[in-house]
């Protein structure tokens, strides 16, 4: 803890900091051009998303996660698939990459909190950041792998 602050300020920074980071990143990522997000093919070990179903039971809980893209105008809502059209599926895949990167970016802010927190609060911050972001990352990866598998089955869809 390089910066010594009164406990009240530590609490304020922790409680207000995470929502500000999460919402700020969600807003910033929805403003970035979709062309910036070019997802790679799913890894073979993901088995078209099946590993997320078996290991993490993602199908049971993914629909309960918030979708920050819906909070801002111009965001691409990923809560439901609105069309099986090839163009829409490709856009959906791209948007899952955008969403995943947004959550990885949030995790990158964890060390910032180490500046003013005592060691035990660092553990709380790490636990919170993991709980708030890893389920979203898993859901994005699951959906991307599934839709990439679906696109590969469509004639003339390409990767």
- For residues 48 and 42, is the Cβ–Cβ distance under 8 A? yes
Residues 61 and 131: their CA atoms lie apart, in Å, by 13
User: Cα Rg for the chain, rounded, in angstroms?
Assistant: 18
pLDDT at 156: 62
Structure tokens belonging to residue 93: 């895949």
Tokens at 54, concatenated: 């078996």
- 3-class SS at 80? coil
Give the pLDDT confidence score for residue 124 in this predicted structure: 95
Residues 6+ apart with CB under 8 A from 3: 115, 116
How crowded is residue 35: how many other Cβ atoms within 10 Å of its Cβ?
7
Structure confidence by residue, pLDDT tens digits, 116-151? 999 999 999 999 999 999 999 999 999 999 999 888
Contact (CB, 8 A) for 69 and 99: yes
- Per DSSP, helices labelled H in 39-85 are 50-56, 58-61
pLDDT tens, 43-88? 899 989 999 999 999 999 998 998 776 777 766 777 667 777 888 8
Q: Under a CB-based contact definition with an 8 Å cutoff, are residues 96 and 142 in contact?
A: no
pTM: 0.88
Q: Which residue has the higher pLDDT, 3 or 107?
A: 107
Cα–Cα nearest to 27, from 67, 68, 65, 66: 68
């Amino acid at each position: 803890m390089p910066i010594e602050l009164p406990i009240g300020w530590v609490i304020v920074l922790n409680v207000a900091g995470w929502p500000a980071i999460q919402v700020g990143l969600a807003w910033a990522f929805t403003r970035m051009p979709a062309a910036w997000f070019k997802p790679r093919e799913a890894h073979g070990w993901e088995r078209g998303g099946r590993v997320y179903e078996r290991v993490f039971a993602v199908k049971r809980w993914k629909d309960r996660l918030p979708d920050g893209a819906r909070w801002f105008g111009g965001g691409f809502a990923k809560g439901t698939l609105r069309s099986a059209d090839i163009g829409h599926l490709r856009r959906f895949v791209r948007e899952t990459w955008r969403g995943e990167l947004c959550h990885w970016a949030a995790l990158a802010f964890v060390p910032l909190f180490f500046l003013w927190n005592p060691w035990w609060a660092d553990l709380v911050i790490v636990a919170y950041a993991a709980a708030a972001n890893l389920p979203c990352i898993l859901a994005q990866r699951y959906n991307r792998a599934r839709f990439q598998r679906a696109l590969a089955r469509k004639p003339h869809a390409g990767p």
